[in-house]
Amino acid sequence: MVSLYRSGRPVLEKINWSVQEGERWVIIGPNGAGKTSLLSLISTYIFPTSGSLTVLGNAIGKIDSAQLKPRIGIASSANLDLIEPDERVIDFVLSSAYGIFGRWNEDYDLWDESRAKALLTVFGIKELAERNFASLSEGERKRSIIARSLMSDPELLLMDEPTAGLDLGAREDLLHRISTFASDPSAPASVIVTHHLEEIPAGSTHILVLDKGKIFAEGKIDQILTSQLLSDLYGIKISLEIREGRFFARAY
Ligand SMILES: Nc1ncnc2c1ncn2[C@@H]1O[C@H](COP(=O)(O)OP(=O)(O)OP(=O)(O)O)[C@@H](O)[C@H]1O
Ligand SMILES: [Mg+2]
């Protein structure tokens, strides 16, 4: 159970939640609910104000988080202020093998280089490898962030609004990749934050609903995610449809 306070106010309050191997979680909740903060805690970019947090079997605070970072893939636009403006895209992806930003003296081997290049190719940004990260468009950044998150072949994959800012083709392509990836039994457990229910990848198993720093609901997605829950959460009448494993929501 963890709590996080910032500037004297609670951002996350007594969150008691766990992810088991093989689970594919989705987190939803209104702006400011604490979704990004929760991912930053799990990825050890920030630390809880109180409570205890265990990630991949390690109690946070008791081990060097630098050892843990490469085992967690994080695709988030938070923490990007750590990137040097002239960081090349290829180095941005490569350096995640060591859980850091920037390329100093790490000894990358050819295997790392070829994996980074392969990921840039998979996400359609191979030709941007030598460009500065700062010069990329929103969607190009997003693709680089996702490539980076997979670089270290993580045991836990965290994605914060991975499809926001992608064009429709790229969004559908990414959702398809995530679903295919998730259907592999050896794929890591994953947690994906999204605002748009149609961006919940098919194959998601569980959902955590956050509101004002607290757990509003959690459990198996097919039991928890209903029109009633969404209407209660957002305070407007929302109708939810499920078609071929995808969710579609609209107000009525
Ligand atoms: N350093 C900080 N100082 C004060 N408040 C903060 C700080 N960092 C985050 N917060 C607040 O914590 C709350 C949760 O922020 P967080 O980014 O986790 O929300 P979110 O659920 O990801 O929202 P969104 O859907 O808008 O991305 C917000 O109200 C935010 O303003
Ligand atoms: Mg957020």
pLDDT band at 206 (very low <50, low <70, confident <90, very high): very high
Q: Which of 5, 15, 26, 37 to mutate to test the pocket of ligand 1 (most atoms within 8 A of CB)?
A: 37
Choose the CATH number for 2-251 among 3.40.50.300, 3.40.50.1110, 3.20.20.70, 3.40.1010.10: 3.40.50.300
| pTM value surpassing 0.85 | yes
Residue 108 predicted with pLDDT over 90: no
Sheet containing 2-6: order of strands: 9-15, 2-6, 50-51
> What's the burial of 25, exposed, middle or buried (CB within 10 Å: 0-12/13-18/19+)?
buried
Residue 181 predicted with pLDDT over 90: no
Of the ranges 124-128, 180-184, 232-236, which one carries the lowest mean pLDDT score?
Answer: 180-184
Give yes or no for residue 36 CB within 6 A of ligand 1.
yes
Q: Which of 6, 39, 49, 208 to mutate to test the pocket of ligand 1 (most atoms within 8 A of CB)?
A: 6
Residue 144 predicted with pLDDT over 90: yes
Predicted pLDDT of residue 78: 82
Which whole number is the average pLDDT over 139-143? Answer: 90
Residue 97 predicted with pLDDT over 90: no
Which whole number is the average pLDDT over 175-201? Answer: 88
Cβ atoms of residues 24 and 205 within 8 Å? yes
Residue 104 predicted with pLDDT over 60: no
Residue 29 predicted with pLDDT over 80: yes
Cβ atoms of residues 26 and 206 within 8 Å? yes
Domain ranges of the chain: 2-251
